[in-house]
Structures are given as structure tokens and as C-alpha cells.
Amino acid sequence: MARKKLVSDVGEVPLVELARKICKSGPRVKLGPGDDAAVVETDGIYLVVTTDMLVSRTHFPPGTEAEQIGHKAVVSNLSDLAAMGADPLGLVFSIAFPRSTEIDFVKRLLKGLDKTSREYGAYVVGGDLDESDDVIIAGTAFGIAPNGKYITRSGAKPGDLVAVTGSLGAAAAGLKILLDGLKARGFKQLIKAQLEPKARVREGKLIAQSGRATSMIDITDGFAASLWLIARESGVKIVVDEDKLPIDDLTKRFAHKYGLSAKDLALFGGDDLELIFTIKREGWEKVESEIRGIGSDITLIGEVKEGKGVYIRRGEEIEKLPDRGYRHFQ
Amino acid sequence: MARKKLVSDVGEVPLVELARKICKSGPRVKLGPGDDAAVVETDGIYLVVTTDMLVSRTHFPPGTEAEQIGHKAVVSNLSDLAAMGADPLGLVFSIAFPRSTEIDFVKRLLKGLDKTSREYGAYVVGGDLDESDDVIIAGTAFGIAPNGKYITRSGAKPGDLVAVTGSLGAAAAGLKILLDGLKARGFKQLIKAQLEPKARVREGKLIAQSGRATSMIDITDGFAASLWLIARESGVKIVVDEDKLPIDDLTKRFAHKYGLSAKDLALFGGDDLELIFTIKREGWEKVESEIRGIGSDITLIGEVKEGKGVYIRRGEEIEKLPDRGYRHFQ
């Protein structure tokens, strides 16, 4: 008899496909499993809901403080709302701790949850506390899509432009420092990018409210992996220009010092929590100026074409961008 | 130096108190951590949100099928919405599996989530799948409180009546059969009560919409423990009549056969998922007839007095009901 298929054989994406196939939709469900968040309509209000689970062993590098675990649990959920263009209202958390956890650690983690939520105008409104061998934080963030406008991963169309907020690579560089125990001197901002990333909530709302964006996703498992998700879900080809990638400056200096590729950190490193989106050409200028208007960076990096897959252009050469990325480690 | 305080030193209730203290409220938050669910108001809609985490090692007795784990994850969340009087809209689940889990198990668990949700008119709209040593399911259910009417644990007033839906003890009896490996012959319904309990969603809505209920809670950690929560949160004394307790008939037969106390199973056993509520005297008859009208049982069991604590009356004698219960086991 053939060995039965195990979770370790299939990886995360096929598991999500399974959930998509099995979980049936209902009349008020505008968007079910498989995007950054779900959308449910009730009384003309578009509720946006997402859940994200962090497991200490695989999601938190050595040196992560309790407050930072709390912070990250909040922003990883809010970033998914941001990728829909939603306005966060609140969060709930189910958290399991080992019995040997110090109460002080629990307190500091809860303080991290509370403080970071409020920075985004959202509140921790409930939770369940339990026991397990690992610290496990399952958060759910909920909010509304103002005017019923939300952006999925599946609407990119040939001719659209591709853009990204902020810069790329710093979170992956920070992870490298922590995992390899490299000297942090001069590179503290990279560690901060890994342990205290920001969710692009205001940016996501501006992009969605423009009415011109056609798809959006946040970078969790890496820039390349996120672009591939948009290309697959939208059934299009995406071509990005290597020269235009907004690779973080400090990440470049870090990479140079340690003989690493800043480009690889930017393309395949996770946790940047920036937003990648596609937009109709005529909508670009307004969104660009609005996002700069709130003090954030935004960069045009490529365009959507007929076809399939994700490609990167270097001068005259075009090659396929590998569909890989990482976020967890072990 | 004194040993630092650990999670194992304090138990669940003080941890919840910690969360209550630390997590600050906001303008739209009508009800924060510490009740069955949270309530957040937006555009005149009262959103009700709850999260519940189940850990396989401590929440699922031997013999629990994958579909039943899915079922229980849904009803344990919907029961919390029921205890507020809310109408469920959807659920999201963050689930961790050991890498050695068979995909077939994952499929059946997801089918259990989907099927049970739809039985309550709600839908599984999203999720996150992860890895851990234990099967861990963190669910979040969200819904609305129709007409903004929801019931907390803290509104019971002296003079109110105390009532409970359905019957008591069957889930605890079922757990006993499974844990001790007793013969199930003739007692299958008890195992079903443990593994496939129902959430009292329709009953909760009728109770809340009556406008006369003053407090409500679902029984998860046991009847006594739930009554104590109402008494403490409302700052009142509750007296119940032992003769009036609707102890499940099959549980009585089971207890008699095995020399157990049916009353103890009913008072201190968890997982019945019935609703306990307090109500103004003039509201009782209407709620009673409405709940019977949908084919459910409901029983008047006592009353609310000035004072503190929970007491049980046996004929002329009144004694304090111990504040204990169980749900998890290990």
C-alpha cells in the first residue's frame, strides 16, 4: 500500500487550496478563503476579516522580545487588512503559552499587542489564553472596507502598472543578522525592520479608495512569491525592472559588507510587509502623489502583460523570476 | 531572590484579568475582553467577535474523529456568540498541524468546520495553516447583534429569575466514558453530547431580543463555574434549586449504573454549551414560550438576590455551590 500523504509532503499553498475547495461560500460572502483577507457583507457594510498564526519556534528569531512578539502578531494581521484596503476596527487573539512561561513575559507580550493595535486606531477586544509547548499566537483582525471598496489578488489586467510601497530587503537582512549572530553595529535599523515592521494601513486605504487599483497583496513570504500569487490569481504575466526595485540602502551596505546579494534579500526575503499593487495607468499619478503626501515612498516597478508568470528585466535581458521566498525558518 | 511567577502558578482566570487590565478600550468598543465575546460598533452595526483556541492534547478526548474536531471548533465559537444573543456571519480558523499529520485528516477536519458552520447559516471565510507539535485550532467567529441588543455577564439584578436551556450533564458523562474507556452500549447519546454538542444560537437570539434578559453565559467550564462568573461579574448572589436542575435523563441512568453522581456531572462537568441567563420576572413567560416554540427545552432554576456568591437549595437547606468545573483534561 502506498504511504499516505502527510502535511510535510505538500506545503502551505496546497493546504490553502484544500481549504478553498472544501469551504463552501454563502450569500453574504463576497470573498472567501485564499486572499489576504475575507470580505462579508451585512447591511451594506463590507466587513474584512483575516487570521494569522505565529508559532514562536518558526516565526520569531532569537532575541525577539515579548513586546516585539506582540507587535508582530498585530502588524502581520493588520498588513493583511491593509492589502485589502480595509480600515481596521479591532483584533482578538488566541494565545497558548508553555506552563513554564513567566507571567512577566505574558504581560509584556499583551502590552505589545495593546500598544501596537492602538497605534493603528484598532483595539484588542478579546482573547483566549491556553497552554501548549510552544508560544502560539493566533490573531484575527477585522475592519471595514470604506464605501465597499476592497482589492483582491485576482484583478490585475494586461496594461496595468505594477508598484510597491516603501523599500525592500531590510527585514530579511535583519533576520540574517539575528539568525547568524552577526554584529549589529550600524545595522540596528535592519533588526528593527525584522522585529518591528509597520503595516501599510493608510497606504492600502488610499490605493483602494482610488478606484483604479486592480490587485494588491502584502509581502510576507517575499517579493517574488507575492508577485507570483498576483500573477497566478489574476491569470496574467508580470514583468518588473530590476533597476527600479527600491532596495533598501542600508541593506545594500550590509550585503556589501558581508558579501551577500542585496537583490536576493529584496526579492526572496520575507516580512517586509510592503504592499505590491497593480493599477490602471490613468490612476497612477494621483495615488503616487497621495502616498507621497502622507510621507511614504512608492515606486513604479513594472507592468502587467498578456501571458503567465513573473519575469524580471535587466537591460535587454528578461528572465523568469523564481517563485520562492521564505518567512519561517527552522 | 523569589522565584518568578509562571503561567502554571496562576491559571486561566487571572490571565484573563491581566488581559483586561492591559488592553485599553476605544471609542467604538462597546465591550472589550472578559465576556463571552466582544462588541464593536461601526455605522450603527453592532459587531460581535469571539475567539477560542482548542489544543488537541487537552481538548479532544481519545476517539475524537477529525470531523468532530472541526465540529467542536465551530460550535465552541458559535456558543460564545449565542451567549451574547448574536447572529453569526462567518468564521476564520488558524490551524497548526504536526508535519506527520495525514492530509486525509486535514481534509476531514476542514469538512467538519465547513459543514457545521453552514448548519448555523455561517461560513468559513478564511484561515491560516501552520505547523506545530500539537493540532491547535484557533477559531474566530463574528456576527451581529440584531437591533444592537446583546447580553453581557454583568447585568443580573436582585429579583431576576435564573434559567437554563436544554439539559445538564450529558457532555461530562460522555467525556467520562471516553476517558475511562467505559462501555458505550446504550450511552452513545452521551458520547455524542461530548463530541458533537450544539450551540444554542437561535435560543440566544430569542433571549436577547426579548429585551428582558439581564445577563447570559454559555456553559463551557461547567454549570457551577458559569453561574459563579455571572454572580461575580454582576455583583449579585444567585440561588438555584437543586430539584429544578434539568439533569439529563440518560446521564442519570449512566451515573446510576456506574455509581457516579449525576448531580456532580451536571454541576461541575463542562462542554454542555447550554445557555444560563437571568431575566426580569415579567419577561419570563414570553421567552419560555418562544423557546419552547422552536422545540427547545428551557427551565427556571432559581433567582438572583442581594449579596454575593452562588448557593444551591435542597429543601430547607442552602449551601454554597463550589466554584469549580472542568473542561480541559490531561
CB contact under 8 A, B92 and A5: no
Nearest to A125 among B40, B103, B134 (CB): B40
Angle, alpha carbons B220-B161-B230 (nearest 5°)? 35
CB contact under 8 A, A40 and B7: no
CA distance A3 to chain B (A): 10
Question: CB of A171 within 8 Å of any CB in chain B?
Answer: no
Chain B residues with CB-CB distance to A133 below 8 A:
133-134
Per-residue pLDDT in tens (0 to 9) along chain B, 330 residues = 567 888 888 777 778 888 889 999 999 999 999 899 999 999 999 999 999 999 888 788 888 999 999 999 999 999 999 999 999 999 999 999 998 999 999 999 999 999 999 999 999 999 998 888 889 999 999 999 999 999 999 999 999 999 999 999 999 999 999 999 999 999 999 999 999 999 999 999 999 999 999 999 999 889 999 999 999 999 999 999 999 999 999 999 999 999 999 999 999 998 899 999 999 999 999 999 999 999 999 999 999 999 999 999 999 999 999 998 765 444
3-state secondary structure of A93: strand
DSSP codes, A289-325: HHHHHTT--EEEEEEEESSSEEEEEETTEEEEPP---
pLDDT score, position B65? 94
- Binned at pLDDT 50, 70 and 90, residue A1 comes out as low
- Please state the pTM of the whole predicted model: 0.95
pLDDT score, position A18? 87
Decide if B85 contacts B39 (C-beta within 8 A).
no
3-state secondary structure of B218: strand
Question: CB of A136 within 8 Å of any CB in chain B?
Answer: yes
Q: Considering only CA atoms, give the Rg of chain A.
A: 20
Measured distance CA(B94)–CA(B45) in Å, rounded: 26
3-state secondary structure of A277: strand
pLDDT score, position A57? 80
CA distance B282 to chain A (A): 32
CB contact under 8 A, A123 and B33: no
Q: Which three cell numbers stand for residue B297?
A: 427545552
CB contact under 8 A, B89 and A7: no
Match 496595468 to its residue by C-alpha cell: A160
Chain A residues with CB-CB distance to B100 below 8 A:
6-8
CA distance B166 to chain A (A): 26
**What stretches of B189-230 adopt beta strand conformation (E)?**
213-218
CB contact under 8 A, B101 and A6: yes
Q: Which of residues 277-306 of A touch B (CB under 8 A)?
A: none
Nearest to B125 among A8, A38, A94 (CB): A38
Contacts of residue A225, defined as CB under 8 A and 6 or more positions apart, other chains included, come to A268, A270, A323, A324, A325
CA-based nearest residue in chain A for residue B4? A102
Contacts of residue B306, defined as CB under 8 A and 6 or more positions apart, other chains included, come to B158, B236, B237
pLDDT score, position B221? 86
Measured distance CA(A194)–CA(A81) in Å, rounded: 20
First to last CA, chain B: 32
* Whether pLDDT at A184 is above 80: yes
Question: CB of A135 within 8 Å of any CB in chain B?
Answer: no
* Whether pLDDT at A207 is above 80: yes
Nearest to A103 among B6, B128, B131 (CB): B6
Give tens-digit pLDDT for A60-95.
888 899 999 999 999 999 999 999 999 999 999 999
**Average pLDDT, integer, range A234-263:** 97
pLDDT score, position A37? 95
3-state secondary structure of A243: helix
- Binned at pLDDT 50, 70 and 90, residue A292 comes out as very high
Match 494586461 to its residue by C-alpha cell: A158
Give tens-digit pLDDT for A127-159.
998 888 889 999 999 999 999 999 999 999 999
CA-based nearest residue in chain B for residue A9? B99
- Binned at pLDDT 50, 70 and 90, residue A186 comes out as very high
Of A195, A159, A152, A154, which is closest to residue A177 (Cα–Cα)? A195
